[in-house]
Amino acid sequence: MERSIILEKAKDYLVKETDPIFSEEVRDLLARGDEKELLDRFYKDLEFGTGGLRGIIGGGYNRMNTLVVTRATQGLCDYLKSQYGNAPLSACIAHDSRRRSSDFALAIALVFAANGIKAYLFPSLRPTPILSYAIRQLGCATGVVVTASHNPPQYNGYKAYWRDGSQVVPPHDIGIIDRVSKVVSILSIEKDEAIAKGLLEYLDGSLDDSYVAMVKSHLLRPDLVKAMASSAKVVYTPLHGTGAMLFERIMGELGLDVTTVPEQREPNGEFPTVSFPNPEEPAALKMAIALGQKVAADVVMATDPDADRLGIAVPDKSGDFTLVTGNQLGALHLDYLLLSHTELKTMPQKPVFIKSIVTTDFQAAIASKYRVECRECLTGFKWIADLMRKLELEGKDFIYATEESYGHLIETEVRDKDGISAAALTAEMALYWRSKGKSLLDRLEELYLEFGFYDEKGISKYFEGPSGMGIMSGIMETYRKSQPTALGGIPVVSIRDFSTLREWTIGKSQHGCLDFPVSDVLQWRLEDGTLVTVRPSGTEPKIKFYILSKTQTSSYGLAGAKQESADKIAAILAGCPKTGPRGLDSSSGSPTPASPERQPARMSVAL
C-alpha cells in the first residue's frame, strides 16, 4: 500500500478517535516516521468477522481500540433496527480482565444507549457463559462480551451475540458485517444521561445467583456429591481471568475443598505467570499441578480468562499428574452423562449429542452404544448453538456438546461453551468413579479397551502481516488442486471439501453433498479410520492441522495400540521439512505446500 494512502488513513483515524491514549500512539508514530508500524496498523481495517473482532490493542484501524469497537457497535445497532424497526430493544454487555476491557464495555454500552437500545452492563468482569445466560434471562435482542479468550495479553476482542444467547450466524452475521462497513457516524451519550433516561442499567448480583442455581440443577447425583464432596480436594486456577468468583462459589456450595493457585487468582490482563493463558497449553497448568502435588489434589482444573474453556489434570497411580485433552474430557463427560441417564432412568426420549467436525470419533462411538444420535457441525460453538435451535424445532432433546479445543456444554440455558458448568460436572463425575473405586484415568482406559484407542495430534503455522491471508489461501488452493492419495503410507479413502460442500470416495465418480454451511476446510479419511483435517483458523492468522487416529485395542492390546497409533501419526509427519509435514504432500510428485511447522501437540499426553 502506498505511503500516501497510509498517512491519509492515519490522519482520518486521528479525526475520529475519541480516546486520547490511542490517538497519542498514532501521533507518536507519525512524528517518528515509523512507516513499518504505521503500515501494520493501517494497511487494512480490523475485520468484523462472523464472530466479531479480535486484534492487538492500540491506535489504528487494524487494532482494537475505542473507535473500532464503537463503530462495530453502531453497525450492530443499525442492523438491529433494520430487523425490528421501532420495537423496544435491549442489549447486555460483559467483559473480562484484559487491558481496556472495562473501558471498551462502557463505551459499547453508551453507543447502545444513544441508539435507544437499553444497555444492561455488568459492573465488573464476568465469564462469557454468564453473558449468554443473561441475554436469555433478560430477553435482550443482542449482547457483547469484550474478551480475547486465551490470546496473549496484547490482544482483546469483541464477540457479538443474538437474542437466543448464541454468537451470531447467517444471515445475521453477514447483515451486521455489511452495516458495520457502512457506518458513517457513531452515536454516543454520557453515562449519567444514559442512566437518568433509563437506557443504562448496571446489573446486580441476582443474575449470578440465578446462574449458580442453574449450574447446580444440572448435576445428576446431588446426593452423592453431598455425601462425598468433603473427601475430595480440587486445585483450581482461573489463569488471572474471570472464573474464580463463580467457580469458587459453586464448588464451595457443593461442599468441595477448593484451593486456588494464589499467584493466579486475581484478575490481571498482563497474565504475568503464563506465556499463554490457555488451558490447552501444558505450561499454563504448571503452577496448578505443582500445587496439586503439594496438597495431594484429586483433580486440577483450569479455566481460560473468560472461563468458557476447561482443562483438567488428574493424578495417576504414581502420583504424577496427567493432562487430559479436550477430546478425552469430552468422551468422559459423554460417557458419564449417558451412563447416568440410563441408570437413573432419566434419558430423554430423543437424545442428541453434538460435536464439531474436528472432534474425535471416540465420542460418536460412545453415543452409538447408548443409541444416542450424534450430530456434527463446523468448528466453533456458534454452530453448536445453531444446531441446538434446529433440534428444538425438530422436537429432539439436546444432551451434551463438545469440541476438541476444551469447549463443553451441559445445559440449554447457555448457548456457548461453559467452563464453569463443565467443572461442576467434572467434579461430580470424579466423585462417582471414586465411589466405584476408580479414577478418571481408570475409566478412560476402560473406554479405550471397549471402543479402541483414539489418539490425536495438532499442529499450527502462523502467517502474520499483510501477506498472511494470501499465503494461507494459496496453501489451501494447492491442497485442493493436488489431493493426497495416501498419508503416512495409509491410503486416503474419502475426501470432504467444505468449501464446495462435496464429499467423495476415492475410485468412485459420484459425489455426495454435505449439509453444512460453506467453510474453508478439507478432510481426508484414511483406510484405517484416521481423519486428517486442515483449516485456516477463524480467529487467528494461522492454519491448523488435526490428526485423529483410531487403533483397535482388540488387536494390539492397549499398550500396543498406543504404540501403533504413535507410529501411525509419526508416519504421517515423517520426514518433516521445516515448511511442514511431507506426509501431507500429494502423490503427484509436486512440492509440498507451505504448511504448518511441527509444534508440540496441545495437551496430547499419553496416559
C-alpha atoms less than 13 angstroms from C-alpha of 246 in its C-beta half-sphere:
34
Angle between helices 440-451 and 553-572 (to 10 degrees): 100
As a whole number, mean pLDDT of residues 255-281 equals: 96
Do the domain assignments include residue 595?
A: no
Q: What does the alpha-carbon distance between residue 237 and residue 283 come to, in Å, rounded to a whole number?
A: 13
Question: pLDDT tier at 461 (50, 70, 90 boundaries)?
Answer: confident
Report how far residue 388's alpha carbon sits from residue 166's, in angstroms, rounded to the nearest whole number. 10
Q: At 249, which amino acid appears? A: R
> Do residue 463 and residue 425 come from a single domain?
no
The residue out of 204, 232, 265 marking a domain boundary is 204
Assign residue 487 the CATH number of its domain: 3.30.310
pLDDT at residue 592 greater than cutoff 80: no
- Tell me, yes or no, whether 251 and 365 share the same domain: yes
Does any domain span residue 602?
Answer: no
Give the lowest-confidence range in 248-262, 390-404, 490-504, 577-591: 577-591
pLDDT above 70 as % of the chain: 94
Q: Is the pLDDT of residue 606 over 60?
A: no
Task: Indicate whether 582 pLDDT > 60.
Answer: no
Give yes or no for a cis peptide into 171 (omega within 30° of 0). Answer: yes
Q: Please give the helix or strand (H or E) that residue 222 lies within, else none.
A: helix 222-228
Are residues 283 and 388 both part of a single domain? yes
User: What letter would DSSP give residue 410?
Assistant: -
Rounded Cα distance, 336 and 329, in Å:
10
State how far the Cα of 559 lies from the Cα of 582, in Å rounded to an integer.
28
Residues 111 and 165 occupy one common structural domain: yes
Q: Answer yes or no: are the C-beta atoms of 419 and 127 closer than 8 Å.
A: yes
Res 591 pLDDT > 50: no
426-456: pLDDT as tens digits: 999 999 999 999 999 999 999 999 999 999 9
Identify whether the C-beta of residue 41 lies closer than 8 Å to the C-beta of residue 63.
Answer: yes
Is 598 part of a structural domain of the chain? no
* Tens of pLDDT, residues 22-61: 999 999 999 999 999 999 999 999 988 767 899 999 999 9
Residue 353 shares a structural domain with residue 489:
no
- Could you give the number of structural domains in the chain? 3
Quick check: 596 pLDDT over 50?
A: no
Among the residue ranges 373-387, 438-452, 479-493, the one predicted with the least confidence is 479-493
pLDDT digit string, tens, across residues 384-427:
999 999 999 999 999 999 999 999 999 999 999 999 999 999 99
Same domain, 447 and 525: no
CATH assignment of the domain containing 32: 3.40.120.10
Pairing of strands 118-121, 90-95: parallel
Tell me, what's the pLDDT at 474? Answer: 87
DSSP 309: B
* More confident of the two residues 195 and 542: 195
Quick one: pLDDT at residue 47?
85
Same domain, 475 and 397: no
Task: Using DSSP bridges, classify how beta strands 486-487 and 453-462 pair: parallel, antiparallel or unpaired.
Answer: unpaired
Which of 475, 495, 473 has the alpha carbon at shortest distance from 484? 495
Give domain status of residue 143, yes or no.
yes
Distance from the first to the final alpha carbon of the chain: 51
Lowest average pLDDT, out of 40-54, 247-261, 266-280, goes to 40-54
* Phi, psi at 210, each rounded to 5°: -65, -45
Query: Residue 171, class by beta-carbon neighbours within 10 Å (0-12 exposed, 13-18 middle, 19+ buried)?
Result: exposed
Q: Are residues 55 and 141 in the same domain?
A: yes
Any domain includes 600:
no
Query: In the structure grid, which three cell numbers stand for residue 472, read together?
Result: 494461507
Classify strands 522-526 and 407-409 as parallel, antiparallel or unpaired.
unpaired
In the predicted model, what is the mean pLDDT of residues 359-388? 96
Do 20 and 104 have their domain in common? Answer: yes
- Which residues, listed in sequence order, are joined to residue 453 by a DSSP beta bridge? 551
Active site residue 149: yes
* Lowest-confidence segment of 167-171, 370-374, 419-423 by average pLDDT: 167-171
Task: Enter the C-alpha cell of residue 190.
Answer: 454520557
Per-residue pLDDT tens for 176-195? 999 999 999 999 999 999 99
Q: State the DSSP code for 49.
A: B
Alpha-carbon distance of 509 to 494, in angstroms, equals: 12
Same-domain check for residues 444 and 489: no
Question: Which residues make Cβ contacts (< 8 Å) with residue 90, sequence separation at least 6?
Answer: 117, 118, 119, 120, 138, 139, 140, 141
Residue 299 within a domain: yes
Asked whether residue 599 is assigned to any structural domain, the reply reads: no
CB-based contact 305:187 (threshold 8 Å) = no
Q: What is the share, in percent, of the chain residues with pLDDT greater than 90? A: 83
Helix intervals (H) in 254-325: 262-265, 286-295
- Residue 133's DSSP bridge partners are none
Considering the domain architecture, whether residues 200 and 223 belong to the same structural domain is answered as no
Residue 492: closest CA among 457, 460, 522, 447: 522
Catalytic one among 23, 102, 149, 565? 149
Give SS3 for 538. Answer: coil
pLDDT for res 556 = 87
Classified as helix, coil or strand, 360 is coil
Of 230, 218, 234, 223, the closest CA to residue 295 belongs to 234
Given 451, 480, 507, which residue is the final one in a domain?
451
Which among 451, 476, 502 is the end of a domain? 451
C-alpha gyration radius of the chain: 24
- Residue 260: inside a domain: yes
Phi, psi (rounded to 5 degrees) for 504: -145, 155
- Residue 502 and residue 438 share a domain: no
Chain mean pLDDT for the chain: 91
Q: Which range of residues forms the domain containing residue 458? A: 454-584
| pLDDT band with cut points at 50, 70 and 90 for residue 538 | low
Structure-model confidence comparison of residues 603 and 366, the more confident one: 366
Question: Has residue 460 got a pLDDT over 90?
Answer: no
φ, ψ (nearest 5 deg) of residue 270: -85, -15
